[in-house]
Amino acid sequence: MTTTIIGYPRIGAHRELKFATQHYFKQRISAQELQDTAKKLRQANWHTIKQAGIDQIPTGDFSFFDTTLDTAFLLNIVPKRYQDLKLAPLDEYFALARGYQGEAGDVKALSMKKWFNTNYHYLVPEFDQDTQIKVRDWQLFAQFKEAKAAGINARPTLVGPYTLLHLSRFLDGKQPADFVAALVDAYAEIIGRLVDEGAEWIQLDEPALVFDQTDADRALFKQLYTAILSKKGAAKILLQTYFGDVTDSYQNLTSLAFDGLGLDFIEGKVNLDLLTAQGFPKDKVLFAGVINGKNIWRTNYDKTLALLGQLDDVADKIVLSTSTSLLHVPYTTKNETKIDPAELRYLAFAEEKLTELRELDEARHAKRETPAVLANRHLFATPRYEEDPAINAKIAALKPEDYKRLPARKERLAIQAKEFNLPILPTTTIGSFPQTAAVRKNRAEFRKGNITEEEYTAFNHKEERRWLKIQEELGLDVLVHGEFERNDMVEYFGDNLKGFRFTENGWVQSYGTRGVKPPIIWGDVVRTHPITVAESVYAQSQTDKPVKGMLTGPVTILNWSFPREDVSPKVSTEQIALALQGEVLDLEKHGIKIIQIDEPALRENLPLRKKDWNSKYLDWAVPAFRLVGAKVQPTTQIHTHMCYSEFGDIIEAIDALDSDVISFEAARADMTLLDVLHDVHFETHVGPGVYDIHSPRVPSKDEIVKIIHEILRRIPKENVWINPDCGLKTREEPETVASLRNMVDATKQVREELAHESQPTV
Ligand code: GLN
Ligand code: ZN
């Protein structure tokens, strides 16, 4: 064995799994039909990987929604409220993933969080007093057998116990330690069963090792694995890490009885130093993650071969692998017809990375310059694009005052209060409204040239007017135009800025059935024309209420694109920020008084190790955001929006963005963020999301009133906005209107309560 990968994308090169799953949700196909599609996709993957010449193929990387959920489900970590629904396993699984509202009951989904520093989301397992860990018959075993029937002795993969505990929530006063014994038994049982089925290697993913580790963390890891490895029998255990280095655990990893260690040499550059300084055990196989699993550029073979040479000096047995699962890149460049072939040569998606692994492996063993190496060297010697001197000069000339908005926020907010005269607890939404089939069709037809620009715009305007009416009737205070012209927000902005490239089929799973098509930052980014002005101005002309302008922020555009590897992320982000600054000033000039600059992905690329947070990220990301809005009038209100992450630990950086208002997901999962906002005297006015938009479930008015009470218990009422926790594009219209109605009604009720409270008592 000399080549492998950690995992492969699973949604299908043409998102077959997404469509089949959605059809299943709508009861248009049966569970069996969904299973058949899934099986076809797995078989196709195995075939591709095998054809490419990779000699060890993972299994268990397939999922109907999320692999962390799969591991939790396999271990029966399923809260009672879901078990009580008494659904068939697949439906129970989907109830955990997306909530359930139907004959069997009414439960919300588990909460969802970003997977480390990626735009993939996992479901947060919940341990509580009822948790009974046992091995259920879920996916992993059947898929191993399925691979075997296809002639592949695959390597089953699952999330390891340490990462599982690390990522989970603990309720009813339970703690990770309470579950160690049961987890050890369960993992040992899983390993035993797989070995009985014929498995040789088994991969346990422990990416949580790349976070800073405390002594207690290390002790927990050691306790878990000493016990599991003592029961592993004939199995060979690959301990797989990714997204960084294992500095704090290297000793543990090398001294425990693992058979293979999977290390990331792309994001975890320090891993090389660890190996060189401390050596690598002779009895273990090094699974060297040398091909970038998170970006789409071709690998530089000369550099990689040099790295492998250094690894060869320390490790005897090396298997070439990817730095992360290939889940984070699209399937193949073969389906891209619109990118100039001369440019396409610089890109490698999942399938092309398989070939890279094989070519590198061949070059390594040939010990001479293979044709593949020569071709690769030639590619890297050719300039890829032309620089834009003007934008680079502008960036070089930036001064500290360019990042500072005046007057200070307190003063601005007072000026804005007079300007807008909004009621207490102003209501708004995050920007998008349901992307119905008709809305998507309108965009598709325009793209294909089947309708004229006038027809395209006329449809969007009609949809905007309809939703402006709905918003007015609901009684919302600050309106939005609905984002019908946008597919994915980052794609939309990238498409309108110079310097980006787009794929036709470059889908990457974001969560469950949701895919994104990240743009590629190909060169210097420049704004050449207004992007959102016409749509915002039209919407504002149709109503007397303020309509928010709606932009995506520079950090998010960077984080949700495939970044360049030839300039720093700081420079790329500043280029984007300057482009957006032009857009903000243009909106203001055309009468848009509230402008939202979404930064849902701000937290995402926060370095996993705390010592790097400021120096390697926040120190440039926060100023880049400020640059966008720094030059507007005090009367113009800047909003921002964030979602899906834990913001508690960077709350001060968020306040330092210096926006006037922020909306985010906070109240729905738990109240901890609200407590933090209270504790730090958060200055930015804030709309913690009062209901979960990621599920079709309609929240009741009472439920929302309760949440608003919780918010008001912690945040001064003058600072609070009321809104859903994210955009509504993935929802259907009836549930959206019903939910918003309950939200507005709940707000009205609380306003009345507040009015009574503030009446002087005699
Ligand atoms: N304005 C965007 C929307 O409403 C924000 C999306 C997001 O936060 N992910 O869809
Ligand atoms: Zn959001």
Give me the catalytic one of 529, 590, 694, 756.
694
Q: Say whether 481 is catalytic.
A: no
Query: Is the pLDDT reported for residue 760 higher than 70?
Result: no
Half-sphere exposure of 553 (CA within 13 A, CB side): 29
What are the start-end ranges of the E strands in 296-447? 317-322
Q: Ligand 1 pocket test: pick from 726, 728, 730 the residue with the most ligand atoms within 8 Å of its Cβ.
A: 726
* pLDDT interval class at 667 (50, 70, 90): low
Are the C-beta atoms of 259 and 238 separated by less than 8 Å? yes
Quick one: CA dihedral 251, 254, 256, 262, positive or negative?
A: positive
Give burial (CB, 10 Å; 0-12/13-18/19+) of 744. Answer: buried
Query: Is the pLDDT reported for residue 487 higher than 60?
Result: yes
Q: Ligand 1 pocket test: pick from 114, 119, 429, 432 the residue with the most ligand atoms within 8 Å of its Cβ.
A: 432
Burial 301-339 (b: 16+ CB within 10 A, else e): beebbebbeebeebbeebbbbbbbbbbbbbbbbeebeeb
Is ligand 1 within 6 A of the CB of residue 363? no
Query: Is the pLDDT reported for residue 670 higher than 80?
Result: no
Are the C-beta atoms of 123 and 63 separated by less than 8 Å? no
Q: What mean pLDDT is predicted for residues 441-453?
A: 97
Is the bond preceding 407 in cis, omega lying within 30 degrees of 0?
yes
Q: How far away, in angstroms, is 525 Cα from ligand 2 center?
A: 24
- Residues with a beta carbon under 5 angstroms from ion ligand 2: 600, 643, 726
Rounded-to-integer distance, Cα 713 and Cα 704, Å:
14
Annotated binding site for Zn(2+): 641, 643, 665, 726
Is ligand 1 within 6 A of the CB of residue 726? yes
pLDDT confidence of residue 694: 84
Rounded-to-integer distance, Cα 351 and Cα 337, Å:
16
Is ligand 1 within 6 A of the CB of residue 480? no
Is ligand 1 within 6 A of the CB of residue 435? no
Q: How far away, in angstroms, is 725 Cα from ligand 2 center?
A: 6
Q: How far away, in angstroms, is 598 Cα from ligand 2 center?
A: 8
* pLDDT interval class at 672 (50, 70, 90): confident
Residue with tokens 């243009």: 586
Residues paired with 201 in a beta bridge? 236
Residues paired with 291 in a beta bridge? 322
Q: Ligand 1 pocket test: pick from 430, 439, 476 the residue with the most ligand atoms within 8 Å of its Cβ.
A: 430
pLDDT digits (tens, 9 = 90+) for 212-241: 999 999 999 999 999 999 999 999 999 999
Q: How far away, in angstroms, is 481 Cα from ligand 1 center?
A: 12
pLDDT confidence of residue 669: 57
In this structure, which ligand is nearest to the CA of 548?
1
Residues sharing a CB contact under 8 Å with residue 440, sequence separation 6 or more, in sequence order? 487
Is ligand 1 within 6 A of the CB of residue 328? no
Q: How far away, in angstroms, is 726 Cα from ligand 2 center?
A: 4
Residues paired with 427 in a beta bridge? 722
Half-sphere exposure of 538 (CA within 13 A, CB side): 17
pLDDT confidence of residue 668: 60
Q: What mean pLDDT is predicted for residues 67-81?
A: 98
pLDDT digits (tens, 9 = 90+) for 675-713: 999 999 999 999 999 999 988 999 999 999 999 999 999
CA-nearest residue for atom 6, ligand 1, is 727
Q: What mean pLDDT is predicted for residues 18-24?
A: 98
Is ligand 1 within 6 A of the CB of residue 641? yes
pTM: 0.91
pLDDT digits (tens, 9 = 90+) for 358-404: 999 999 999 789 999 999 999 999 889 989 999 999 999 999 999 99
* DSSP-assigned states of every residue in 484-529: TT-SSHHHHHHHHEEEEE--SS--EEEETTEEE---EEEEEEEE-S
Is ligand 1 within 6 A of the CB of residue 489? yes
Annotated binding site: 15-18, 114, 119, 430-432, 483, 560, 598, 604, 641, 643, 665, 726
Average of per-residue pLDDT values in the chain: 96
Annotated binding site for 5-methyltetrahydropteroyltri-L-glutamate: 15-18, 114, 119, 560, 604
Among the ranges given (19-33, 177-191, 745-759), the one the predictor scored with the smallest mean pLDDT: 745-759
CA-nearest residue for atom 4, ligand 1, is 727
Annotated binding site for L-methionine: 430-432, 483, 598
**CA distances, 479 to each of 201, 342, 430, 458, 464 (Å):** 56, 45, 9, 20, 11
Is ligand 1 within 6 A of the CB of residue 430? yes
* pLDDT interval class at 45 (50, 70, 90): very high
Is ligand 1 within 6 A of the CB of residue 426? no
pLDDT digits (tens, 9 = 90+) for 274-323: 999 999 999 999 999 999 999 999 999 999 999 999 999 999 999 999 99
Q: Indicate which atom in ligand 1 lies nearest the CA of residue 643.
A: 8
Q: Indicate which atom in ligand 1 lies nearest the CA of residue 600.
A: 8
Q: Indicate which atom in ligand 1 lies nearest the CA of residue 429.
A: 4
Is ligand 1 within 6 A of the CB of residue 597? no
In this structure, which ligand is nearest to the CA of 644?
2
Q: What mean pLDDT is predicted for residues 538-567?
A: 97
Q: How far away, in angstroms, is 643 Cα from ligand 2 center?
A: 4
In this structure, which ligand is nearest to the CA of 482?
1
Query: Is the pLDDT reported for residue 761 higher than 60?
Result: no
Q: How far away, in angstroms, is 727 Cα from ligand 2 center?
A: 6
pLDDT confidence of residue 114: 87
In this structure, which ligand is nearest to the CA of 596?
1
Domains of the chain: 16-380 (3.20.20.210), 410-436+471-754 (3.20.20.210)
